[in-house]
Amino acid sequence: MTTVPHRLQLTGCHTAIITPFTPDGSAIDFDALARQIDRQADGGVSGIVISGTTGESPTLDHDEYERLVAAGVKLAHARGLLAIAGAGSNSTRHAIELQTLAHQLGADATLSVNPYYNRPTQDGLIRHYTAIADSCPIPTILYNVPGRSAGGLTLETIRTLSRHPNIVAIKDAAGNVDFTSETCAACPGFTVLSGDDPLTLPMMAVGAVGVISVVSNVAPDRASALCAAALSGRHEEALAIHRELAALSKAMFLETNPIPVKGALKLLGLDSGAMRLPMTPATPATLDKLRTLIQSMELVGGRTLARDR
């Protein structure tokens, strides 16, 4: 095992960026990806996650994954953003292949989701993540999301994994601020990031230092400003932004992510093409709610608020 040379500064807002496809969904739209990353940089985010689950990673074949990560890393670095590659799998061997490829393509870190469906034991999770982190010298971020992986990491498992020199952070999407507080207390020096936009400010209040965000696809300036205010101790400002973003953050989960966020981007004139099956486009009811929220917040994406067609 070769260890990473130093720990990344993973504070602030990191956008779990969507993957834009062509209108028929047959290919990745790399021009749209460049525009999306430029918009994130202009909005002040610290980094992006490329080919995460918000980026519909389960629908990408190996060649698409490689080309997407290569392009995303290059575009992010050109704008001074950290480039984190989604590299999780419910097969440890496959996750190691993605981890190694992300390292070769120049990603700054990887985000590795809990194995889904298999439901490994805690010992299995420790062995899984340890094998991944041992495989090459790239910082690894754990992604604890029990609601979408049929199982979660316990506090003791996180504490054990946090001691690995290549495991540098956790995206905490367990939806439990008490658990976040316990994690921060039990793992001093270990970076904790919110994985639930509506809970970012409460989680930062108990020790998290930022977020891997869905809502920042839509409102990067506000999501990054919330983190900056919280990190700087500007509590009233952070609370005001939290309240401003609260309804939109919750709306990102009116249907399964990333259905609503892609619907919201379309309304902003930032169409990201087709959803790939088994994901389907946002329903008219979801689009109506999103339109109302976008209008009330005076968000700006493209030239005008698009009409759904």
Q: So which residues are the catalytic ones? A: 143, 171
Beta-ladder partners of 282:
none
Angle (CA) 275 277 279, round 5° = 60
Q: Are 231 and 279 in contact (CB under 8 A)?
A: no
